[in-house]
Amino acid sequence: MSASALLSARVPDIRAAIVGPGSVGATLGIRLAAAGAQVCLVARGEHLRAILQNGLELVDRVGAGSTSLRLPASESPGYFGVQDLVVVAVKAVCLGPLLKSLAPMIGPASVVLPALNGVPWWYFHREGGPFEGTRLRSLDPDGSLDSALDARHIIGCVLHLSAEILAPGRVQHTAGRRIVLGEPDGSDSPRARGLQRLLQAAGFECDLSTRIRREIWIKLIGNLSFNPVAALTGCRMDQICADENLLDAIRAVLAEGIEVARRLGIDVGLTPDQRIDIARQLGAARISMLQDLERGRPLELAAIVEAVLELAQMTGVSMPSTRILHALVRARALAQGIVF
């Protein structure tokens, strides 16, 4: 099937690969498959073995309940051939060895949707400002990410949903279904509209933005503040939002993040307390950095915190509260034996 199928209205014509069908990836993959898309999964380890043996199950606390599907899955991206859509839903810390291996999946018109937390490595691609083309060393120190994938394939993506892995092959969607898409150059493109239609058909609330970096910052400042606090305290989102002492720390970090965005020409359009109100909508979610710490997995500190600190240095912003929080959560992870 031609990679131009994403531009059509026929969902069954669309070939979509989910690279990393963990909590978020599995939620996207099962919903796309249930809508009729031809979905394949690139997974590994115990998760892959469970998917091959029993299928992939989504316990949906947001929609219509549980769904279990048997979808083609492999550890090798080259097994499936060229795809119309490649959703990269791995942790940012896993991108280095992965991106180059995706080449067999990517044809001339393929769209790559990085469904990642934090600052994306392509942030300054087609950005149009004074830092156009700048490579962030906290994310891509040797340029391997930049060289592994032609950034023209990328459509920016911000996910406002929460999910977690219950067991190998079994994932729970706990909150939210909003997705924001945007071309890195701010254009209103046919391929972005085609992707919007596909995600809407899969049951997501999907919006297009001509200012995708603003959308990235709206989510990013929440991750920058809430994720380290959750990892340090073990608290769910509702517990953090009910604790005024914790919220004072959250407000300080939010204010610092908002100022970095402003120096980059991004008006977030929210006060710290307005951003906290958005976070309350996640309810009792256990957010990603807490999940990773509990499972002994590397934390996404580079994308969520260290990249913002690098941007702060570039723009002359002091971030004392963020630096303290970063030092504490990094020390806790190292004490637990987590290697960066």
CA 322 vs CA 145, 164, 256: distances in Å: 26, 26, 7
pLDDT digits (tens, 9 = 90+) for 37-94: 999 999 999 999 999 999 999 998 887 678 899 999 999 998 999 999 999 999 888 8
Six token digits for residue 107 = 């044809």
Q: Evaluate if residue 2 carries a pLDDT over 50.
A: no
Residue 147 contacts residue 173 (beta carbons within 8 Å): no
pLDDT digits (tens, 9 = 90+) for 289-340: 999 999 999 999 999 999 999 999 999 999 999 999 999 999 999 999 997 7
Residues 72 and 185 in one domain: yes
Q: Evaluate if residue 4 carries a pLDDT over 70.
A: no
Range of the domain at 171: 3-210
Q: What is the mean pLDDT of residues 141-166?
A: 93
What pLDDT, on a 0 to 100 scale, did the predictor assign at position 186? 96
What pLDDT, on a 0 to 100 scale, did the predictor assign at position 64? 64
Six token digits for residue 225 = 């503040």
Residue 93 and residue 292: Cα distance in Å, rounded? Answer: 12
Q: Annotated catalytic sites, by residue?
A: 219
Q: What is the mean pLDDT of residues 181-206?
A: 96
pLDDT digits (tens, 9 = 90+) for 102-139: 999 999 999 999 999 999 999 999 999 999 999 999 99
Residues 180 and 313 in one domain: no
**Separation of first and last alpha carbons in the chain:** 41
CA dihedral 157, 114, 22, 55 (to 10 degrees): 100
The CATH number covering residue 197 comes to 3.40.50.720
Please choose, from the candidates 76, 82, 80, 79, the residue with its C-alpha nearest in 3D space to the C-alpha of residue 105.
82
Last residue of a domain, one of 185, 210, 235: 210
Residue 310 and residue 316: Cα distance in Å, rounded? Answer: 10
Longest dimension (CA), the chain: 56
Between 284 and 194, name the one with better pLDDT.
194
Residue 100 and residue 144: Cα distance in Å, rounded? Answer: 9
Helix (H, G, I), strand (E, B), or coil: what is residue 66?
coil
Residues 173 and 295 in one domain: no
What pLDDT, on a 0 to 100 scale, did the predictor assign at position 9? 67
Q: Whole-model pTM?
A: 0.93
Q: Evaluate if residue 163 carries a pLDDT over 50.
A: yes
Last residue of a domain, one of 166, 191, 210: 210
